Structure 1
């Protein structure tokens, strides 16, 4: 006859065998039952066996567990309704011990305890291990645009993502480039170089006649009076004295001997032909110009004198006409008091 004091120990050993069979085998079937309690210490502990085709009441299996000891599944896991270790608990989300819960697969998470299912990671987030209580944001330079992702995709060369949890990458703008994958920002082309299209992976040197300082993004044409005949230059050269530069992408041209070309000249400057001639750094009057000025000045002076004389003559004529009535006043023919009007007066002696 067996010792009654050994029964609790045997039940504990059988429960341990039940736990081992649930955790080491493939997910247990729901149609299982406690078949027997093996008392021999050398016999392997096997508590749950399946009987194909024969439905077995769960109540028989659940009666072997202390369901008051059920615990909520920890964050990062969910309860397994395919095993009695969870199904025998009175509320969903509870299992007899945390090891009976199912861990969330990669790409999903569960931040709360005692939950029935795991949640997929949102776009721009990922988790690459099981049992995760949260998802991680994709770092800058990477992205993903699907839910439930277990990894992020690096931005391809020529594109970037500067923020975390990005769902896409943006192409590099004009004047910037990225020559590797996973760029968090695009770089500005160095001095003397530019990127002529969006999404560039390299820079090209500035053409002759153009330049680009480091602070600018695109090459600029040289200013008037400047030139640059080399590729990839940071600045232009000013056209030297006694030369002129009609185009910024050609060498300076020697100034003609009869022209002026100060520093920065776009074209040679000439004195007015016939009337002026070059004298050092200035223009002077030609001899023919001096002669013409003298003759012209004399003619102008003579004309002025003639105009003054004519004006004076006209003025004198006008005065004569105005005085004539006063000097030659005509008297009418007749007699006054029997004396002709034009007779000399006679003193009467009065």
Structure 2
């Protein structure tokens, strides 16, 4: 394997080029040499002779036919540590998941406070600890973002300061597996942590009654501060006495300013002095003595002397009505957030309404009442704009109405069916804004959604086979001249030998004309095609062949030159295809024996006066004229035919003449210099015999 030999009668095989080998022995052509990759690698492109390392979890050995195959997967639940593994023996670690590491022959979940992001971890992969001050809520975590801030007992994480802070007063955190990730938990209602303590670690620290200002702790209860006292600090065990000559108007006072001197009706003590001043607007004080003026309530305000709330004054949520009841409640969908005799209430913001009448704040506008073009699927805020392709022409929370088939709107929140005026173009097309017509996506663009106004461009270096592409998969790689796109793999491949491609972005190459080929793969012009000369000829130009002349041969197709015969040899004709057709060049007096491929002397009775040349081997001798012959073989001239050509039954005597064979001899051939004697005891009856059959038994007369 790895060698080939296209010619017969050779003493050695030819080696395949580097990184190429054959798939079997006895290969006869270089085209049987195929590209292969080293162990641990598979072929990415045979034409480009590029290899790709086997991914982890795969291997490739180069034993036998596996050399030419693809990478093989490890057995189930087994994996390799690295890429480019060369045998199944490298599938030596278990196949684990992200969030695990390898322990012996098994997978172990990463413990709490660690993580491991790598799918199919290596044997050297370890679970990574979360950074300082962070931890995970569960084991087998895969991302660093699974590590959340954790705090010790008595602390909670402050996102603004990005650090752990002590639990505020009235809260605690035990720091257990759950609470270390959470904010501090509030004490039970009515209790706070003892001793104004921050950083409480247990509910057991929540033992102090949380009495508000104006009250004090009395055993397990909160009690109002009595008349003549106040308390402006929460969670105290006593109340503070009013200053001298002042008093409170009742129990439960939380401000020192509630400790006042005694003033007439309609008056209260001025803050910061010992003087009495009239009550403020909308406030009254009906009895003399200490205490503050109180604000009027309902639809009335204070009279001029601030002794009674008996002047019409519409309250929050009510508007003034001169024709009917003096104060009407604000209608649903409106509100009034101040006391005044205004005649109108404020409308709620768009798409909102109130739960009822007499609303006193914009915050009461917390119910959905969707305008045209908006809807609320569950009657709650916020109202949602009707999406493109829908409209709503009435106020309310009902759903939007679909446009007629094939039509859509140009924006959200459409309010009329007439706004459904735009065509919905199918995939592979887009809508032109000016004409409202659907147009195919141009070459190099695609659109995989309906109703779009533009197409998406293929990635750089990719284009589509035509207009109207409806999927990014229609974007095919643009191959340069000299190559074509393989639609199966969507990869560029060089034009094979014998083909060319002059344009980019093509899916096939053009064939050279019949009997033409190219020097190599990747030709980008028809001028790269040249004529394929058959054996026995060679190229004289890119488009012409010439037969090998006498004395030369060529056994291969598509050769650029013929091969010369060995010195002293030539061919019998032009266009010779084999070295065996080279014959010796014979000298004068010789002829060529084509069987033995040797020069032989001209036999008796023949001559050859010409020596062979590069264009002829002189394969025949010429016979002498009738009746003449040569004295020896290898005659070179006609003058050598000077010897009489004696017939059979005779021989040429020493004087140059012909003489019959004597009795007892014979000669079956002509032009001989002697006759052949009969066997002993035999003789011929007559002279001039030309065959041994005339030799008969010799009988001699005996005397009696």
Same fold (TM over 0.5): no
Greater RCO, 1 or 2 (C-alpha within 8 Å, sep 6+): 1
TM-score bracket, shorter-length normalisation: 0.3 to 0.5
Give TM-score scaled by structure 2 length: 0.22
Q: Which has the higher helix share?
A: 1
Under a length normalisation based on structure 1, what TM-score does the superposition of the two structures give? 0.38
